[in-house]
């Protein structure tokens, strides 16, 4: 079972490394790609909007935005509809960086998926979705004081 997760972590590490190498060291971190992508698609959104759209913590977004501002990719502007609030917008350099990042992500995906059939990809996506659903169900049905032995059938824990 751990082999599956080790392989997933290795895939993620290699994917992020390919993107980092394509972008260079003085650019956004590949994990900031979703923020840049959303800003590219929806320029002029609040940090709260990013938190809602990305499903991550406000602290995570704040740290990423601060780094992107230091790099000169993002700027804060007054919200035209609410003068007390700010919205985030890409700078011209940020727009270029976001497009480079999207291109690097597409290239990395194409390389990773090379030679894998559509049928295998669909089955893999279904398996990943089932694993995600299992984790969600497990988190919702097991108390934090419960400990699951690696030798115990997980389904018995899910059906409590």
Handedness of CA 22, 74, 41, 35 (dihedral sign): positive
Query: Do 6 and 82 belong together in one domain?
Result: yes
Query: Do 27 and 67 belong together in one domain?
Result: yes
Q: What is the pTM of this model?
A: 0.71
pLDDT digits (tens, 9 = 90+) for 121-130: 999 999 999 9
C-alpha to C-alpha distance for 9 and 89, rounded to whole angstroms: 32
Could you list the residue range(s) of the whole structural domain that residue 15 is in?
A: 2-114
pLDDT digits (tens, 9 = 90+) for 53-85: 998 999 999 999 999 999 999 998 877 776 667
C-alpha to C-alpha distance for 87 and 89, rounded to whole angstroms: 7
Query: Do 77 and 133 belong together in one domain?
Result: no
Query: Do 110 and 122 belong together in one domain?
Result: no
Write the CATH number for 68.
Answer: 1.10.10.10
Query: Do 155 and 99 belong together in one domain?
Result: no
* Pairing between β-strand 74-78 and β-strand 86-90 as defined by DSSP bridges: antiparallel
Query: Do 24 and 63 belong together in one domain?
Result: yes
Query: Do 160 and 109 belong together in one domain?
Result: no
Q: What contacts 104, CB < 8 A, 6 or more positions away?
A: 18, 19, 22, 23, 30
Query: Do 17 and 89 belong together in one domain?
Result: yes
CB 87 within 8 A of CB 42: no
pLDDT digits (tens, 9 = 90+) for 86-114: 889 999 999 998 998 889 989 999 999 99
Torsion on CA atoms 92, 96, 97, 102, rounded to nearest 10: 140
Number of structural domains the chain divides into: 2
pLDDT digits (tens, 9 = 90+) for 13-23: 999 888 888 88
């Amino acid at each position: 079972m751990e082999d599956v997760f080790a392989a997933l972590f290795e895939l993620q590490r290699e994917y992020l490394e390919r993107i980092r190498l394509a972008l260079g060291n003085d650019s956004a971190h590949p994990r900031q790609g979703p923020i840049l992508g959303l800003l590219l698609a929806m320029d002029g959104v609040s940090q709260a909007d990013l938190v809602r759209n990305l499903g991550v913590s406000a602290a995570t977004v704040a740290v990423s935005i601060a780094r992107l501002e230091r790099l000169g990719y993002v700027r804060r502007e007054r919200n035209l509809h609410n003068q007390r609030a700010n919205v985030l917008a890409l700078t011209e350099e940020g727009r270029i960086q976001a497009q480079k990042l999207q291109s690097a992500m597409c290239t990395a995906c194409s390389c990773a998926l090379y030679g894998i059939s559509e049928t295998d990809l669909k089955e893999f996506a279904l398996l990943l979705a089932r694993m995600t659903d299992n984790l969600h169900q497990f988190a919702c049905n097991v108390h934090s004081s419960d400990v699951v032995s690696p030798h115990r059938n997980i389904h018995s824990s899910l059906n409590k």
